[in-house]
Structure 1
Amino acid sequence: MNASAAEPAAPPVILLVSGDELDVLADQFHRYEREYDVRAVRSAAEANAVLKGARRSGQPVAMIVTESRLPDEQMLMAMHDWRSLVPTARRLVVIPISRFGEESVSLRPYLQKGKFDTYLVLPQGRRDEEFHYAITELLSDWGATVATSEIDSVRIVTPDARPLALAIRDFLDRQGLPHRTYTPDSPQGQETLARLDGPPSYPLVHLTSGAFADRPVLMPTSTRELGAMIYGRPSDIEVDTVVDLAVVGAGPAGLAAAVYGASEGLSTVVIESEVIGGQAGTSSMIRNYLGFPRGISGQRLGQRARTQAIRFGARFFTGWPVVDLRPGAAGEPHTLVTDGGEVRARSVLVASGVAYRRLGVAPLEDLVGAGVHYGAAMTAAREMEDRDVYVVGGGNSAGQAAVHLSRFARSVTILIRREDLAATMSRYLIDEISWNPRIDVRPCTEIVDGGADDGGQLGWLQLCDVRTREEQRVAAGGLFLLIGAAPHCDWLPADVRRDEHGFVLTGREVPAECWVDGLPPENLGTCVPGVFAAGDIRAGSMKRVASASGEGASAVSLVHGYLEGLRVPPAP
């Protein structure tokens, strides 16, 4: 838990390591000295001394920037030692331009295995902004996933690490809202308590700045409730307004539809039950998404897409699950029903995504939020320092979670029921996991039991070999469950047909009795005219971020065609 320190913490270290090019690096990093403790050394041995000193004193290390050749040690060996000393630091290799052609090729296999985060050409002059763009991206990623916020635009006050407090922190992290956590007896906690009229119900959420500063202290009972308190109710839309496009779900598919729909003049509303970004928003680093050569976190991707959609006029309502869809008859508007109000729309895109399947082990379900987490739980990763952590799942989300957790945990074990990861995980992640000394993969294994330690947190797991049924009890400080996919569509009417697993049928997959004049609906169209589906919720989808984004964007062209058929011009 974060409490206000009596003295300001030491600034994070940026360590520069080079034999021949140190002066160039030091000159380039002069601009960061106001916010970071920039250290410059000429050898791997000196770098080791600096990093050991920082670790002893508790000073965070944000980044290590090293020349590709060092005078006293092979760079990759040094990088391995530095990763062991400060696993959360971002690692960058700079190559002089005279050697870039040769070394960029020889270092590429090690980059693919995750031995460092990226390599760049050593700057040739002043104001090399392409170089600094990469630096600030890496520092931003470090700040979002590792560092404790120094800004408390939102204060969370709680006496202990209860599950709801952790869930609220994760919600705020994914929304990009700076926050800190305080105990009730801290000065900040006392200030928050003084604003209450009655007895507190923890955790308390105090919005201290910006547009929310005049709001009372909140005592939410769920993250959905918090989202609704901050972002408003769907009933804020005027009763008589009929929007062109209502999007249910703000994962990659819904966000892409919001951007393209709003940018093309459609009045667009997005209703999200939990957090912007959907399941993809929990991914610590997506490295194979087009246009982001250094990767992008799901949190960042969701935040940027939301900002982009708002710029074009889309409206977002967070914390309001859609509980019913009432299709309009004969071209009349459809109605989406939430507990916070109704939205009437000429067209609807169902992009509500999927949820991770439940493990079904009762003692562990009781520990959700107390060491057991569904999804990557980015915020919880920080709490896993020096713990033995288990990840259940063989997909990309599980692989990304394991890599991120390895920056904090003593060990990470991926549990899968299959023989290996080849059929379910991208090759780049398999290679990165196989190299990482902190990550092991345990095949043909399932969890059959588990329990808490004396403090009420997860303490142990009972593992079972699915072939021999032999069991083993292991100590566990964290469990992250990323297994399978259950669709979010119980709220849909029977008119919107689904397959035997509950995924929405579209295009030629729709039963023939729903076809019109012998023709199936459009590729993303459902049985109900004007209702479309995209992303993971759709039967036959690829379950990848890029494909979901593509489907969301493609759906907008189908919406245009449908609205044209209604002969209704887009609302101004």
Structure 2
Amino acid sequence: MTVPAPFPAVSDADPALAADSVAVPHDRHGAGPQPAIVLISGEHADRLLEEFWRYGRDYLLQTATSCAAALEVIDELQQQGRQIALLVADSRLPDESILVAFGKWRAAVPTARRAIVTPMERFTVDGPSLRQGMAKGKYDAYLLMPRGPRDEEFHNAITDLLSDWGSTVPDPEAVTAKIIAPTATPLVTEIRDFFDRMGMPTGLYHPDSEVGRLVRDRFPADAEYPLVWSVVRDPLAPKSVSEVARSIYGAPDGVPGVVDLAVVGAGPAGLATAVYGASEGLSTVVIESGAIGGQAGTSSMIRNYLGFPRGISGMRLAQRARNQALRFGAEFFTGWPVQRMVPGSPHLLHTEGGTIRARSVVIANGVTYRKLGVEPLEQLVGTGVHYGAALTAAREMEGRDVVVVGGGNSAGQAAVHLARFARSVRLVIRRPGLEETMSSYLIGEIAYTAGITVQTCTTVVDGGGHDALEWLCLEDTRTGERSTVPAGGLFLLLGAQPHCDWLPDAIARDDHGFVLTGRDVPQSAWQQGIPPTDLATTVPGVFAAGDIRSGSMKRVAAASGEGASVVPLVHRWLAASADVPIS
């Protein structure tokens, strides 16, 4: 049954988008008809429809009474060109078990989010047999059917699922930034990925479109593409992602005096440090070279982070933490890599945009992915080849064969996410299995997800294509046998490589370049036979937390824990050095 929207249509025009109030209309260049929510129950379809009435303005609501009927509805919606945002089903259907039904629906529409909604009388009875399916990714949420009006706990879960779906839509309705370019160049892809990771949806517009012409007219005739307009800054013709970040978030040269705490890096460890440092009254500045969230910010869905039973994307986790730190007074400067650190009183952190002077420093700039080292593929980075999950590029893999290289959780999460769009996903690892490097829940989800194959004891040795990636050559490490496979996308998540070139020699590092802390520092740096405190480096007042630290666990929760744990050590240091004069 189709339900019309209960509210008048809302205008698609964006009001006064440009910084000087020149309106830039919303170009629905790729937007199709209203997306749909499908409600499936043999007994409670009308009840579900009543509960979902509040979503009728923005989504087409349709009901079905069985698995087969839902498949017919899905087919009809797809023929209309509609996207299906959410499938909500009763835990029991008249013609099929719910998990089998979800398997069929997922094959038909892999991008939709999926929830089971169960009436009170069956909630505890059906739950034990169904929750294992949720752990394997067969569906996204197991919810109690609302028991009355305004059950906001229920609707909070639903809006989270819809928000998660909305972040994966190739052409979002509500955009924060508009990018004007004739083609999707590597720089365009990088800029879109930066905006996505900052929680700012983007639209890509051709220069000859209505939006493209209006934005282009505000630039000199010889301005080079891409052109970028965002809601918070004047239009820009950037040459790098850092230039975009700097235009939005400013430069650190405006920070006056000496701050209590400078945090280098805004991944989970740096964000936790900022939240706890600022909340406890420390003047706190965070310097980040790229997007907020670090590697974790590229994760499409983290399901084992404490307190988020339905999972949370790395981007949302990072942006929530950033907003939390901002609320306590922390300052963030994005797009400014630290070029050099000079220890002293205070410590100096030099960037191209100014120098931060800080009584204490927490090094939390994480790690980068190791390079593959295959020159023909390095030349295709940004045109089919990507380091990291590259969520923007992932949405553009529809109908393509994709290869993901890596055996860690990030690679597993990327493979599951890509399977929503790609025709096939091949997960390539050097080891004989995933068990040593990947969480069990992800291994189970990969095994369940149709379209993902795991190819063990394999490396990528060559690849190429005309202007973009088209094929890869894979080698079996046991036999040396090589095979060529079609590939429209290669996502490389090859493990940790520290970025510590900016650190002074006085800060000790291990043989792999990770920062040494606590009892791991050389005994020659111990004071009177006593090692530095946990998380303290060989330079007094300088600490390290998260993946950059030697011996760290390389998990989001562990990094967040270290970021929180370092703040009491900073307090102790600041108290002990209170009488040290600032030069």
Per the normalisation by structure 2, the TM-score is 0.94
Equivalent AA in structure 2 for residue 233 of structure 1 = A
Matched, 1:428 2:445: no
Q: Which of 189, 212, 219 is the matching residue for 1:189?
A: 212
Contact 2:473 2:483 survives alignment (8 Å): yes
Aligned to 1:268: 284
- The match for 2:535 among 515, 524, 527 is 524
Residue aligning to 2:243: 225
CA distance in 1, matches of 2:566, 2:517: 12
Please, which of 247, 253, 271 is the counterpart of residue 255 of structure 1? Answer: 271
1:381–1:6 distance in 2 versus 1, CA, 3 Å = closer
In structure 1, the residue matched to 2:414 is: 401
Aligned to 2:32: 9
1:540 partnered with 2:551: yes
2:61 counterpart (15, 38, 49): 38
The corresponding residue for 2:22 is none
Alpha carbons 1:88, 1:146 under 8 Å: kept? no
Could you list the runs of 5+ residues in structure 1 that have no partner in the other structure?
none
- Deviation string 1:134-188 (CA, Å, 9 cap, x unpaired) is 1011001111123522123311000011111011111001111232110010011
SS of match in other structure, 1:458: coil
- 1:109 is displaced (CA, Å) by 1.6
2: distance between equivalents of 1:118 and 1:96? 14
Distance 2:215 2:30 in 1: 21
Alpha-carbon separation, structure 1, partners of 2:29 and 2:242: 34
Q: Of 64, 74, 83, which aligns to 2:87?
A: 64
CA distance in structure 2 between the partners assigned to 1:399 and 1:442 by the alignment: 13
User: Partners of 1:17 and 1:8 in 2: how far apart?
Assistant: 26
Following superposition, the deviation at residue 200 of structure 1 comes to 2.0
Alignment of 1:63-212 (within 5 A): 63-146=86-169, 148-207=171-230, 209=231, 211-212=232-233
After superposition, the Cα gap between the structure-2 partners of 1:506 and 1:415, relative to the gap in structure 1 and judged at 3 Å, is: same
Query: What CA distance in whole angstroms lies between the structure 2 residues aligned with 1:46 and 1:348?
Result: 60
Tell me the SS of whatever aligns to 1:529: coil
Question: 1:486: which partner in 2?
Answer: 497
> Structure 1 residues 499 and 135 mapped into 2: Cα distance closer, same or farther (>3 Å)?
same
Partner amino acid, structure 1, of 2:480: R
Quote how far apart the aligned CAs of 1:297 are: 0.4
1:470 maps to which of 481, 488, 506: 481
Q: Is the 8 A contact 2:67 2:95 kept in 1?
A: yes
| Distance in 2 of aligned mates of 1:383 and 1:147 | 7
Cα RMSD of the aligned pairs, angstroms, is 1.4
Q: Measure, in 1, the Cα distance between the counterparts of 2:123 and 2:168.
A: 31
Partner of 1:380: 393
Q: Partners of 1:568 and 1:451 in 2: how far apart?
A: 62
Contact 1:55 1:85 in 2 (8 A): no
Is 1:336 aligned with 2:354?
no
Give the Cα–Cα distance (whole angstroms) in 2 for the partners of residues 152 and 404 of structure 1. 22
Q: Which residue of 2 aligns with 1:290?
A: 306
Q: What is aligned with 1:512?
A: 523
> For each residue in 1:119-141, what CA deviation from the matched residue of structure 2 results, as whole angstroms up to 9, or x when unmatched?
11111211111111110110011
Where 2:236 maps in the other structure, the secondary structure is coil
Q: Which string of whole-angstrom CA distances, capped at 9 and with x for unpartnered residues, describes residues 80-136 of structure 1?
A: 111011100000011121111121001122111111111111112111111111101
Q: Quick one: percent identity of the two aligned structures?
A: 59
1:519 deviation in Å? 0.7
| Aligned counterpart, 1:418 | 431
- Structure 2: which amino acid aligns with 1:85? A
Aligned-partner Cα distance in 2 for 1:381–1:319: 23
Q: Deviations over 1:183-242 (max 9, x none)?
A: 0100111111110124121111012x3x42xx2x2111111111011111110112xx10
- 2:469 alignment counterpart: 458
Q: How many angstroms apart in 2 are the aligned matches of 1:129 and 1:148?
A: 29
In 1, the alpha carbon distance for the partners of 2:267 and 2:97 equals 43
SS state at 2:167 partner: helix
Q: How far did residue 385 of structure 1 move?
A: 0.5
Q: Which residue of 1 aligns with 2:578?
A: 567
2:50 equivalent in structure 1: 27
Question: What is the CA–CA distance in structure 2 between the aligned matches of 1:163 and 1:243, rounded to whole Å?
Answer: 38
Distance of 2:248 and 2:124 partners within structure 1: 51
Q: Distance in 1 between matches of 2:214 and 2:239?
A: 21
Show structure 2 runs of 5+ residues with no match.
Answer: 1-25
Q: CA deviation at 1:477?
A: 0.9
Question: In structure 2, do the counterparts of structure 1 residues 416 and 71 end up closer, same or farther at CA, with 3 Å as the change threshold?
Answer: same
Amino acid at match of 1:514: A
Aligned length: 556
Tell me the amino acid that sits aligned with residue 515 of structure 1: W
2:373 alignment partner AA: G
In the aligned structure 2, how far is the partner of 1:73 from the partner of 1:200? 59
CA distance in 1, matches of 2:37, 2:70: 11
Q: Indicate how the Cα distance of structure 1 residues 66 and 106 shifts in structure 2: closer, same or farther if over 3 A, else same.
A: same
Q: CA deviation at 1:57?
A: 2.4
Cα pair distance change 1:194/1:564, threshold 3 Å: same
Give the Cα separation in 2 of the matches to 1:121 and 1:66.
12
Q: Deviations over 1:292-318 (max 9, x none)?
A: 000000000010000000000000000
